[in-house]
Amino acid sequence: MVLFPLPFEKVLHRPFYDFIFLDTSPERGYLVHELMRRTMIHYEDVILFSLSKANQQVHRAFKSGLQPFGLTPVQGLVLHALYMEDGLAAGEIGKRLILDSATLSAVLERLEEGGWLARTCGKEDRRFTHVFLTAKALEAREPFLGEVGRINGEILGTLRPEERFLLERMLRDLRG
């Protein structure tokens, strides 16, 4: 895009991202066509902004809802994965939840300290640590899953079923 000089006073009182000028005065003869509309979008329209704000709201809701259990949202995700399949290898949990090993190790350590899970080395290959739910975790299963379902429903409850389906599909596509 070629930018043509424009007298400053012509743009001073206009929104930076939303103007069209055609200056045909003989002494200047400058043309500016949709100058910033094509090169700059409003920050609220940047996908990073929208996803960040949505993530903050969702994170806040899960943080508040899981607080009575003494769990963070990430700890809740790990616990949820183990409710679906107990005895997973630590690396498999990390892969499923897309967590790096340092983050996962810290989360597993805190869950173990809190009495939620136990880690054991594999019998055949000691390099693999398997993670198992404890009695405390098993007792909390129904209330925990009920709260997660409630929060999830509250967040997605404003959407019609087809909107919810599309949102979940689009988010999966963005995850890659």
Domain boundaries, the chain: 1-40, 44-175
Q: What is the pLDDT along the chain (176 residues), one digit of tens a residue?
A: 344 444 444 444 444 444 444 445 544 444 444 444 556 677 888 889 999 999 999 999 999 999 999 999 999 999 999 999 999 999 999 999 999 999 999 999 999 999 999 999 867 766 778 999 999 999 999 999 999 999 999 999 989 999 999 999 999 998 88
40: left (phi over 0), alpha (psi -120 to 50) or beta: beta
58 CB neighbour count, 10 Å cutoff: 15
CATH of domain 44-175: 1.10.10.10
Phi and psi at residue 141, to the nearest 5°: -55, -55
Tell me the pTM.
0.73
What is the rounded CA–CA span in Å between residue 151 and residue 103?
Answer: 24
For residue 79, the tally of other CB atoms under 10 A from its CB is 24
Joined together, the tokens standing for residue 47 give 């996908």
